[in-house]
Chains A and B, each alone.
Chain A
Amino acid sequence: MQNRILIVEDDLDMVRAMAVRLKSQGYSLVVAKDAISAISVARKEKPDLIVLDLGLPAGDGFMVMKRLKALPDLMLVPIIVVSARNPKFNEPLALQAGADLFLQKPFEAAELLGAIQNALRLSGARPEARK
């Protein structure tokens, strides 16, 4: 079965770039372009992993993480934060908010793919995280 990844990103070009990469690795994708729809899409689609931007319309990545971590069936879904913001301040904040990893843009494709693989492998050890 294909692993489903939710990409939350308002830059459509970036969405496109990540989509090409991830599809080439055999993942199925769902996309949300703002903070509010990120939560509703996540509830509906139950992704195996979320790639999350921090700067978003209608809220921000931190708000999304706060909401997701409060939902019992989504709280264990791994989150990889991908942001152009300064990691010095934002990495600790993101990890504290529940992110599993912080990647600064621009990043190497291998970094993202490796992190997704590891995250899925680790969460695979917890069957309740996946439906």
Chain B
Amino acid sequence: MRSVKNQANRELHAKLDRAQARLLDLEAAMKAIRGGEVDSIMVDGPQGSEIFTLQSPEEPYRMMLERMNEGAASLNADGTILFCNMRFAAIVGQPPEKLVGSPVTALATPTAREHFQQLLLESLQGEARGELQFVRTDGTLALVLASLSVVPAEPVCGLCMVATELSQRENEVEQLESLNAHLEKRVRGRTLELQSANEQLKQQFEKGEQTNRALEQSRNEQIRLKDEFLSHVSHELRSPLSVVHQFVSILLDGLGGAINADQKEYLEIAMRNANQLKGMIDDLLEASRADTCKLRIMQSMISIGEVIQQTMRSFRATYAAKVISLKAEIADDLPLVYADPARIGQVLTNLLDNAAKFSPSQSSITVRAHVLEEDPAFVRVSVADCGCGIVPEESDRIFERLYQAKNSLQASRRGLGLGLYICKELISQHGGRIWNDDKRKDGCTLSFTVPVFSVGKMIAPIIRQGTLIDSSFTLVTVEVLHSEAWPSDSQRERALSRVHDVLGRCILPDLDVLLPCQQQSARNFFWIVACTDQKGAEVIVKRMREQLSLCKDLQLAGVSCSVSTKTPHLDAIENDWSFERQVQSVASCLGKLLKVEPV
């Protein structure tokens, strides 16, 4: 009996176990079905295994519900959750199986529940919308926009609810911001890349520049070496020449005893050749300076006629020996030119030298000077000889460095081939040009131009500022004097350049104009157009006298300066005149004054 009871008990237990196992299976299957993991179910039936697929007409809608980004739930009329999608569960922070069957209002925070209840009631009439705060199981809050609408059905109606998480929107904003930040970071990254590429390019450019600089440097170095060499050679040649020069002059001056006429003539020839040698050494240095653009000119207001006459005087003796007649045709009232008298003298000497070299005995050489017809801003000076002439092909080449004309081989004396090259450089420094008239067949005519001095150009800046119109102006005259005669051109030039520098320091560059030196009739003047009255000019004069008295080298060289002022009458200038007319008026007034010999 007992064993039967035990037997029945065991069977019951086994049945219970099987039933429990099935229940677990079913629960798992349910979960799988709810989770959408199950597509079909196989059921063992009396006719063997049968397969039921879960594909139903509602499947696409279920998929849509599961996939949508909003939370969705269906409720019965009293607000109990019948179904919800995963998104809804995620928003409220609870698993869906726990949500099904629970009242939806319980999800809201206690303060929002009444509002929720009201929304539910409202929605039963059709639709309702409202913002609600839900509380998740972990205590965090979720702001939700709930849209409720009634689903009419028999016998009782239900509700469907769509929940949009507003804090999600905020997240999206955050996401956007983070995207933005990311983008910015990328832009920054790219910018850095570009910058580094730029830097690289810059470096490459600099490298190129460096190479250029190195090349330039080596070129400069070569020029420097050549200059140094020439300067050295010139120095080495000058020293012995200096001794020759000194002793010849000692003998000529009778310091070595009385000399007869023949001896005097021979010594003069020696002296002339020593001077010629000195000229060649100067040419060597000049040619190297012309190459490196260091040839300097000091432009003054000069009478070109005077320079021509002076240069021709020193040529008379040379020409007399060859019986060449030297003629000058200088136009009357030539304007003053803006040129360096020593340099123009040098150019003329070169041209006359050349002409004499190629001229046969008993011929003539003519120097002409006149205002250039095609451009009255220039004066043209020409030297015409009756020599062998220059073939047209050589017309331009004669001005090249070290060029020797073919027929110059027959000439009695050859030079270094630097003379005309230096002439060209000097004339172009003046802003003029030099050329050979290749139409001539019976000789050679070399011409050059120098600019006419224009007071207008010099005073235009102060007229532009209007300072000259409003106030009176004073003309300060500085005459540079030598205690005796100037011993040499170069010494006079140096003295004038020194005085010019000193005067330049004594004026106000914006208000006063220091005109270039005026060299006329062996006298040397500086003019200062000062935009001030007599009293102001006295201050300038005092400053000039002080500064000049500090130049001991000028005093030793026997140089002194006499400074005077005058306040000339200036024709009235109208403010409504054109600028050009104002300049012209002042310039013509000044031009008249500059021709007047100052006391």
Contacts and interface: CB of A to CB of B under 8 A. Distances in A.
B250 A111 contact: no
A101 B553 CA distance: 5
A20 B250 CA distance: 8
B242 interface: yes
Interface in A94-117: 95, 99-102, 104-111, 114-115
B46 interface: no
Given A80-B556, A115-B556, A118-B557, A14 B235 contact: no
A107 B558 CA distance: 16
Interface stretch (B308-316, B465-473, B480-488, B517-525): B480-488
Interface stretch (A27-35, A56-64, A66-74, A83-91): A83-91
Contact of A14 (B242, B274, B285): B242
Contacts of A118: 483, 555-558
A76 B349 CA distance: 42
A97 B484 CA distance: 28
B571 to A, nearest CB: 44
B285 A18 contact: no
A84 B488 contact: no
Nearest to B231: A86
A86 B285 contact: yes
Given A21-B246, A78-B556, A104 B253 contact: no
Nearest to B559: A118
B231 A18 contact: no
B250 A17 contact: yes
A11 B553 contact: no
B18 interface: no
Most chain-B CB neighbours within 10 Å: which of A17, A95, A122?
Answer: A17
Nearest to A14: B243
A9 B46 CA distance: 144
A102 B488 CA distance: 13
A18 B484 CA distance: 22
A91 B490 CA distance: 13
Interface string B520-556: 0000000000000000000000000000000011011
Interface of B is mostly: helix
B278 interface: yes
B55 interface: no
Interface residues of B, number: 35
B419 to A, nearest CB: 20
Nearest to B243: A13
A119 interface: yes
Contacts of A99: 553
A122 B241 contact: no
Nearest to A103: B491
A24 interface: yes
Given A20-B255, A108-B487, A122 B246 contact: no
A94 to B, nearest CB: 9
Contact of B246 (A18, A24, A78, A95): A18
B19 to A, nearest CB: 123
Most chain-A CB neighbours within 10 Å: which of B235, B236, B484?
Answer: B235
Contact of B278 (A86, A91, A106): A106
Interface in B546-593: 552-553, 555-558
B439 interface: no
Contacts of B555: 118, 122
A105 B238 contact: yes
Given A80-B556, A114-B484, A106 B246 contact: yes
A84 B206 CA distance: 43
B268 to A, nearest CB: 15
Given A17-B243, A84-B234, A111-B488, 15 more contacts: A14-B239, A14-B242, A17-B247, A20-B255, A21-B250, A80-B556, A87-B494, A104-B238, A106-B246, A107-B488, A108-B487, A109-B246, A114-B487, A114-B558, A119-B556
Interface of A: 11, 13-14, 17-18, 20-21, 24, 55, 78, 80, 84-88, 91, 95, 99-102, 104-111, 114-115, 118-119, 122
Interface of B: 231, 234-236, 238-243, 245-247, 249-250, 253, 255-256, 274, 278, 285, 296, 483-484, 487-488, 490-491, 494, 552-553, 555-558
19 contacts: A11-B243, A14-B242, A17-B243, A21-B246, A80-B556, A84-B234, A84-B235, A84-B238, A84-B239, A101-B557, A105-B238, A105-B239, A107-B242, A109-B253, A114-B557, A115-B556, A118-B556, A118-B558, A119-B556
